Structure 1
């Protein structure tokens, strides 16, 4: 075993694992970190990797030979070749100098692997004051029933054909939120249902795909979705309707929970906070 849990566990201020992202606190074990090292050697997806559903090969892998694991801090670099390439160094530890050390390692490894981007990912605890970056939130489906939303929301395939045909232009406009990628997966039949909101005969918002998969300890989780509403359709409550419809779908299909990542103080973050989700911490990413 490479990682010492008695060293690593006190450094985990938020339940974030390199290449896997946020995980349920109950599933946060040394085995998850060990599994990322094994996956780096094989190039395979882990059974509970959320990216597995898209098929192909795992793009991001831990650079196991460059991991720094000490009693006071742990630095775990990961490499992605997507686009112009990125090295991320996940910095676990509490001392003030960890960010400088992580940035130095990221820059060195980016040069060594001939990639353009070097970044540092710092997990932060839920008690963090004035947080920036991304908030990790937990929705528990066992805590109470999710009411059915009342409004113009439903699966894309349930809308009339002429409305369904407006999903393509909607997806192009919202490509920055991942909807163009989602549309290609829908067309290829590679993903679960997508829920959409319509107004005046066209789709103006969507959330999906809707899929439930087991996590590392076998507990069913509602997988992350792409979520977007056209700018001109915001402020009408459609985002909340879409989110509520997604939560209703997840609960009715046996999910125990969902983990959501929201930009701090962004619209989705404010929505989830108003819905009473538990905050598990933050991740703050900076350029090295």
Structure 2
């Protein structure tokens, strides 16, 4: 075993694992970190519980296992992403401020060594962080209370009349920056679960999906992350909330125990999740090295 849990656990201010992203606190074990090292041995392989394996046959990001720094008071775990011109990210776990500087130095060094264009530092921060920036990790617990089906013009895309379904393509194009064009391509290829859509006057103006439940590292069923967008001109009418509640109802109805969401601090989805009472598990703040 490479990692010492008595060293690593005290500095895990947020439940974030390199190459895997946020995980449920109940699943946060030393085995998850060890698994990322084993996966790095078989180049570009997925762990069976990796949420990203539904999108690709090969893993883009792997841990640079030979460059991990593991000390009693801090741990630095570098990863390499081959997508584009390459990115090295160093996950900086530790309470002292200098850990960020150490991570930045390591990221620059490794980016040069691996001909990667970008070097980044990822700093997990606890939920008590004042004036946070970056991404908030939020937990929706489906075992806590019922998630009733919302009222409103939301249903699976395939349940809308054909004339409405045909408006998904221009909607997806307009919201390509939010991943909807990619999602539409997956839908057309029949390679994803249902997508829920909101329509106004026979035109799709919002969507969330795909809706899929898969087991996590300890076998607990989780609702997988979705793409989520509403056209700017359709906002302010409660459609985003209706879509989100419909997704939560779907997840609970299909046996999910929880969902983890990542939202930009202060953004519309962040404010929605906070208003809906989700639990904040912490933050990740990514900066150039």
Structure 1 length-normalised TM: 0.99
Superposition pairs for residues 164-243 of structure 1, below 5 Å?
Answer: 164-243=165-244
Please state whether the residue corresponding to 1:39 is helix, strand or coil: helix
- For this pair of structures, how many residues does the alignment match? 288
CA distance, structure 2, for counterparts of residue 52 and residue 275 of structure 1: 29
Q: Does 1:34 align with 2:34?
A: yes
Deviation at 1:264, TM superposition (A): 0.5
Please state whether the residue corresponding to 2:150 is helix, strand or coil: coil
Deviation at 1:96, TM superposition (A): 1.2
CA distance, structure 1, for counterparts of residue 141 and residue 160 of structure 2: 29
CA distance, structure 1, for counterparts of residue 167 and residue 88 of structure 2: 38
Q: Which residue of 2 aligns with 1:3?
A: 3
Q: Which residue of 2 aligns with 1:139?
A: 140
CA distance, structure 1, for counterparts of residue 7 and residue 245 of structure 2: 40
Please state whether the residue corresponding to 1:196 is helix, strand or coil: strand
Deviation at 1:58, TM superposition (A): 0.6
Q: Which residue of 2 aligns with 1:116?
A: 117
Deviation at 1:55, TM superposition (A): 3.0
Deviation at 1:222, TM superposition (A): 0.2
Please state whether the residue corresponding to 1:129 is helix, strand or coil: coil
Please state whether the residue corresponding to 1:98 is helix, strand or coil: helix
CA distance, structure 2, for counterparts of residue 99 and residue 89 of structure 1: 9
Cα shift readout 1:109-162 (whole Å, capped 9, x = no counterpart): 111111111110000000000000000000000011101110000100001111
Please state whether the residue corresponding to 2:89 is helix, strand or coil: strand
Q: Which runs of 5+ in 1 are unaligned?
A: none
Please state whether the residue corresponding to 2:280 is helix, strand or coil: strand
Cα shift readout 1:242-283 (whole Å, capped 9, x = no counterpart): 000000000000000000000001000000000000000000
Deviation at 1:165, TM superposition (A): 1.0
Q: Which runs of 5+ in 2 are unaligned?
A: none
Superposition pairs for residues 9-88 of structure 1, below 5 Å?
Answer: 9-42=9-42, 43-88=44-89
Deviation at 1:201, TM superposition (A): 1.4
Cα shift readout 1:168-206 (whole Å, capped 9, x = no counterpart): 111111111111111111111110000001112111111
CA distance, structure 1, for counterparts of residue 233 and residue 264 of structure 2: 20
Report the aligned-residue RMSD.
Answer: 0.7
Please state whether the residue corresponding to 1:130 is helix, strand or coil: coil
CA distance, structure 2, for counterparts of residue 83 and residue 160 of structure 1: 39
CA distance, structure 2, for counterparts of residue 118 and residue 3 of structure 1: 24
Please state whether the residue corresponding to 2:104 is helix, strand or coil: helix
Structure 2 length-normalised TM: 0.99
